[in-house]
Amino acid sequence: MLVNGAVVAGKGASTVKGRSAEEFEQIRVILQGRFEELDREYEEAVAQNTRLRLVEIGDAAGDDQADSGSKTAERDAATSLLRTLLDRRTQAEHALQRLDDGTYGNCEGCSKPIPVERLEVFPSATTCVNCKQVRERRAS
Ligand SMILES: [Zn+2]
């Protein structure tokens, strides 16, 4: 297949290189599991958030200032948890899409394959440890 060959020789070459089919399968299983786990956690957090709001509406009339303050804090924490979970779930989803595209697991910085050991711990990682450190140093 000449056409495919040309594609692989282009940007895809570094993607395929250094990664076996078994590794890809291993990564897919990890990502899929992570996504499902986050999906469940997110659904739970949504339900929890809804309960919190319902309680709040029911209680609001009789609250003094301190009570409503701690409830606001509780609600803020729940909201930020929701946001975090949604972010992670989206990251895992993107990672799965990139895996299908054949672009997953390569560093966005240096385009070398990210070690499977790193992906196992951080399936949503888009950079290798070196490039991440460089980015963080730049950001701070
Ligand atoms: Zn890198």
User: What are the pLDDT digits (tens) for 59-115?
Assistant: 665 656 666 778 788 888 888 999 999 999 998 898 888 888 888 888 989 989 898
- Which residues have C-beta under 5 Å from ligand 1, the single-atom ion? 107, 109-110, 128, 131
Distance in Å, CA 132 to ligand 1 centroid: 7
Cα 129 to its chain centre, rounded Å, is: 17
**% residues pLDDT > 90 (the chain):** 29
Q: Phi first, then psi: what are they for 64, rounded to 5°?
A: -90, 180
CA distance 80 to 14: 37
pLDDT average, residue stretch 27-40: 93
CA distance 18 to 22: 12
Decide: helix, strand or coil at residue 113.
strand
Distance in Å, CA 90 to ligand 1 centroid: 22
Q: Which of 117, 115, 113 is nearest to 102 (CA)?
A: 113
Distance in Å, CA 38 to ligand 1 centroid: 26
Which pLDDT does position 59 carry in this prediction?
67
Distance in Å, CA 133 to ligand 1 centroid: 9
10 pLDDT more than 70: no
Its pTM stands at: 0.65
